[in-house]
Structure 1
Amino acid sequence: MDNTLLVSLSQQIAAYRSMDVIANNMANISTPAFKRESMKFEEYIQQTQPAEGETGMQQISFVQDKGTLRDLTQGAISHTGAPFDLAINGKGYFTVQSPDGTTHYTRNGHFTLDGNGRIVTESGDVLQGDGGELTVTNDDGDIHIAQDGTVSGQRGQLGKIKLVTFDNEAALQKDGASLYSTTQQAKPVETPMILQGSLEGSNVQPVLEISHMLDVMRAYQTTANLTQNLDDLKRNAIDKLGSAAN
């Protein structure tokens, strides 16, 4: 394949992947604590043989994706009034355990009670306290969750929410829209700040995403037009050669 077409193809693939990431950001505008992502690209240089009539090795520049970058900026906090909606103001992640026993971390504090009185996420992952899962009964009445994560009811203190942080938050592995996993050692947050009856929103800014999407679409169309023009030039050259031969 022609080198110019290869370069154009690499740029089109890069634009396509960028559109996927932007679309995912837009789809999660309303997901609590969702963190915006963007593609990371690098230039890849390949050495090629010189063209006819030229000397020395030539270089071709390709676009190569190196994964995604996550924006860890905190989203806006809004009041909901729901007793098990919890927002982290500042650093930290909730610790949750999935039904298969896997530990995950999240800033999405939209919790509810399951049939067993456990505080769980929408997908059923159980919120962990310093001593394990937290259980609420009817005898506990209204639940109060202090800023330091202490959970109390009419029977007294029920436990304390486990809020943790990591040395390298950017290295957390994404497991869905708002769950993360890691092999790093979790460390307790020194000064936790949990707000009951509130949720952290997504940090996606729709206007900026739409602007970015339009930029990517224009870049894709420009490259597609270049590819089409090159194809037309080759086709015309072949037609002329065919006519000359006749």
Structure 2
Amino acid sequence: MDNSLLVSLSHQLAAYRSMDVIANNIANASTPGFKRESAKFEEYITYVRPSETQTGPQALSFVKDAGAVRDLGQGELNSTGATLDFAINGKGFFAVQTPAGIRYTRDGHFSLNQDGQLVTSDGYAVQGDGGAITITPDDGNVSVGADGTISSIINGAANQIAKLQVVTFPDERAMIKQGANLYSTTQAARPSTESTVAQRMLEGSNVKPVIEISHMVEVMRAYEMTATMTNSQEQLMRQAIDKLGSMPN
């Protein structure tokens, strides 16, 4: 394949990757605690051997996919009125137990399972400082302090049940997405000292749909421009081949 076509193809693939990331952002605009991402690319330069050109060595600039950059900006806190909805204001993640091990999330939409355990919407046990958190009917009304301490209020007296495990990591951008709004990491977790927990609230995503749609339009235009150039290059190649084929031997 012609080098110019390969370069154009790398640009088209980059645009396709950008569209995929933007579409995922838009799809999760209403997902609690979701953090938007943007595609990241790097320039990859290679050189054509002098024997393959008529003008000496030439540099070819390709676009290389370098992953996605996560925006860890705080989402807006929205009141839900639900006793077991919690939002983290600041840095940190809730810890949850999954079949694959401990995972982390910013989505604080919790409930109680049939055993009275505090769980995520997917049924994963939310972790406290002592492991899974159990709340029984005898605990009465439940309140949560800014430090994540869960207390039962019985006859006006507060009794501590557990404390939500809210943790942070040295490099939160290096955490790996695992689906279902969960993350994993090999970094050592440490208690978050830069956050508070709000009850009856959920953190919204930090996606701004209008901005994402604007980015999508820009990427579509870039893709169409590159596609037009690619088609023009292919047409020129076909014309050159036709002329060579029609030349007398």
Q: Which TM-score applies when normalising by structure 1? A: 0.95
Counterpart mapping for 1:135-150 below 5 A: 135-150=134-149
Tell me the CA shift for residue 84 of structure 1. 0.6
Query: Any stretches of 5+ residues in structure 1 without a counterpart?
Result: none
Alignment-derived partner of residue 6 in structure 2: 6
Opposite residue 117 of structure 2, the aligned amino acid is R
Q: C-alpha distance in 1, partners of 2:174/2:194?
A: 23
Q: C-alpha distance in 2, partners of 1:91/1:189?
A: 7
Tell me the CA shift for residue 52 of structure 1. 3.9
Counterpart mapping for 1:91-240 below 5 A: 91-98=91-98, 100=99, 102-154=101-153, 156-190=159-193, 192-240=195-243
Q: C-alpha distance in 2, partners of 1:242/1:170?
A: 56
Tell me the CA shift for residue 243 of structure 1. 3.9
Worse-matched range after superposition: 231-240 or 180-189: 231-240
Contact 1:139–1:154 (8 Å) recurs in 2: no
Instruction: Give the secondary structure class of the aligned counterpart of 1:203.
Output: coil
Alignment-derived partner of residue 67 in structure 2: 67
Tell me the CA shift for residue 237 of structure 1. 2.4
Worse-matched range after superposition: 111-120 or 146-155: 146-155
Tell me the CA shift for residue 233 of structure 1. 1.3
Instruction: Give the secondary structure class of the aligned counterpart of 1:29.
Output: coil
Worse-matched range after superposition: 150-159 or 76-85: 150-159
Alpha carbons of 1:222 and 1:192: their partners in 2 closer, same or farther (altered >3 Å)? closer
Aligned residues: 244
Q: C-alpha distance in 1, partners of 2:196/2:88?
A: 6
Report the structure, 1 or 2, having the larger strand content. 2
Worse-matched range after superposition: 236-245 or 44-53: 236-245
Opposite residue 104 of structure 1, the aligned amino acid is R
Alignment-derived partner of residue 54 in structure 1: 55
Tell me the CA shift for residue 176 of structure 1. 1.1
Query: Any stretches of 5+ residues in structure 2 without a counterpart?
Result: none
Contact 1:28–1:177 (8 Å) recurs in 2: no
Contact 2:127–2:133 (8 Å) recurs in 1: yes
Contact 2:143–2:153 (8 Å) recurs in 1: no
